[in-house]
Chain A
Amino acid sequence: MIVFSAVEKRYDDHVVLSELDFTVSAGEHVCLIGPSGSGKTTILRLLMTLEAADGGTIHVGGECLTHMLRGGRLVPADEKHVREVRKRIGMVFQQFNLFPNMTVRGNLVEAPTRVLGLSGDEANARAVELLELVGLSEKIDAHPTRLSGGQQQRVAIARALAMRPDVLLLDEVTSALDPELVAGVLTLLRDIGERTDITILCVTHEMGFAQDFAHRVLMFDGGRVIEDAPPSKLFAQPDHQRTRDFLRAVIDRA
């Protein structure tokens, strides 16, 4: 479903990702872990086309995100091409990024009607159904600013799902939440993981969640994948000293 090959990303002279290769199969749940600044979030941002790669190619569902064919030649993707591929990808952010100028309903129907061309009724039905899934049916006409962080994040998850993406990107979705609200959001994500066959890429510091949610865990360090294993292996018997140090540091903090 997702293929990174030789992907490079630099900010000025600082190399964030170098020669990065990895593949994610359809329906797989992959957690990305590692110290901050190791390039995990950058991977999600490249996939969501919030940023462009400096080298290499990224494919999603067989379509190239970074390049397109024009006159038989591979050229950098233009806005239109990118927007087509983008429809298959959804993202949930650390800070929710809900639109404060719309109600919860507005947030959920905006993109399905305007981007996917759904009718108002269809989009509304989706919104109602998804709010039920995330347990916020009664908040449909509330303003996002009146909701708690945990509720806002659940709305943001529903908003991403309303686009029926093939790939869902979760960028530290519980990091901005008060501790008592984290569990509810993680339970919801497990639930979604079980009920759907969406491919999920998840940057997280919640090792307990990674352990039971992920099919695979990728340990990042210095812009490279240094370890790639099922959680049972990676958490119990990591191959690398860096992984062991990182896990110990995270677990001590918790």
Chain B
Amino acid sequence: MPDNLPRIVAVLLDGLPSTVIAAVGGIALTIVLSFAAGLSLLARRRAVRVLARIYVEGFRGTSEVVQLFWIYFVLPVLVGLQLVPLYAGVLVLGLNHGAYGAEIVRGAVQSVPRAQYEGCTALGLSPAQRMRRVILPQAVVEMLPPFNNLCIQLLKSTAILSLITVADVTRQGVQVLIPNFGPDTELIFAVMAVVYLVLALLITAVMRVAERVAARRVGRRPTRAARGSTVTPAGAR
């Protein structure tokens, strides 16, 4: 084992809290914005749809790094609002990935069969009751796999926070380790990659559980992928 491995790991793990906070905060904001914007894309009022569309195209179509610099460097000059780097990072991660998530929500809601809407109408449910009680619970099942992708992408994007001085895993590696352990460059980057991989696998594990719960709630047998290889297939109940 290379002599420096324990120290390299220790220094990188010092960056773990920032990376995790940025990822968790970013994911939370992403979920909120995805639903808000995704449902707005389907709103009856045109003005609401247009606003949501501007948000989605605006944040999906511009560079995340540029967005980050705007919020961190330009906003203070323009309106005198200087955000803590980590918060600025969470904001950009959430805004950016929320724009992608909005399309996931919209697509999933639209994938619920027309017959379900008609069933609601025939029972006299209002449009709001219909969405909350019948359509969304079914749509969520469809949303989870693409949301898993989105969350992993967001996790990896947290590395850009190192550009605005957040001491995350990437910044610890590039700014602290490389200058001091130059000969171990391959090792440093390899450990960094493994840290992200482990976090990504963690996200996937959580999402798999969510998929199984959601599938069960709509009375569907979980897909083989969501059931996971370690779980014995449940027989018909």
Contacts and interface: CB of A to CB of B under 8 A. Distances in A.
Contacts of A115: 123-125, 129
Contacts of A83: 124, 126
B123 A111 contact: yes
Given A100-B218, A101-B217, A87 B116 contact: no
A73 interface: no
Contacts of B118: 48, 50, 93, 97
Contact of B122 (A91, A100, A143): A91
A86 interface: yes
B137 interface: yes
Contacts of B218: 100-101, 145
Nearest to B220: A145
A144 B220 CA distance: 10
A208 to B, nearest CB: 27
24 contacts: A48-B121, A49-B121, A86-B122, A87-B124, A90-B122, A93-B115, A93-B122, A95-B115, A97-B122, A99-B119, A99-B138, A100-B138, A100-B220, A101-B138, A101-B217, A101-B219, A111-B123, A111-B124, A111-B125, A114-B125, A114-B129, A115-B123, A146-B219, A159-B123
Contact of A145 (B126, B133, B134, B219): B219
Given A99-B138, A101-B217, A145-B219, 12 more contacts: A48-B118, A90-B122, A93-B115, A98-B119, A99-B134, A101-B218, A110-B125, A114-B129, A115-B123, A115-B125, A145-B218, A160-B122
Q: Place the interface of chain A in its size category.
A: 20 to 34
Contacts, number: 69
A203 interface: no
Interface in A71-107: 79, 83, 86-87, 89-91, 93, 95, 97-101
A145 B220 CA distance: 7
Given A99-B134, A101-B137, A110-B133, A143 B219 contact: yes
A163 interface: yes
A150 B141 CA distance: 26
B220 to A, nearest CB: 7
Interface in B138-158: 138
A202 to B, nearest CB: 15
B213 to A, nearest CB: 12
A163 B219 contact: no
A90 B119 CA distance: 10
Interface in A154-197: 159-160, 163
Contacts of B116: 97, 99
Taking residues whose C-beta sits less than 8 angstroms from the other chain, chain B's interface range is 20 to 34
B122 A50 contact: yes
Contacts of B126: 83
Contacts of A48: 118, 121-122
A110 B219 contact: no
Nearest to A98: B119
Contacts of A100: 138, 218-220
B220 A163 contact: no
A101 B134 contact: yes
A99 B217 CA distance: 11
Contact of B133 (A86, A89, A90, A114): A114
Nearest to B214: A101
A86 B121 contact: yes
Nearest to B139: A101
Nearest to A45: B118
A79 B126 CA distance: 9
Contacts of A146: 219, 237
A251 to B, nearest CB: 30
Contacts of A111: 123-125
A206 to B, nearest CB: 21
Question: 5 closest Cβ contacts across the A-B interface?
Answer: A143-B219, A97-B119, A145-B219, A111-B123, A101-B137
A100 B133 CA distance: 11
Contacts of A50: 118, 121-122
Contacts of B123: 90, 110-111, 115, 159-160, 163
Interface string B99-138: 0000000000000000110110111111101000110011
A110 B119 CA distance: 12
Interface string B215-237: 00111100000000000000001
Contacts of A79: 127
A100 B220 CA distance: 8
B223 to A, nearest CB: 15
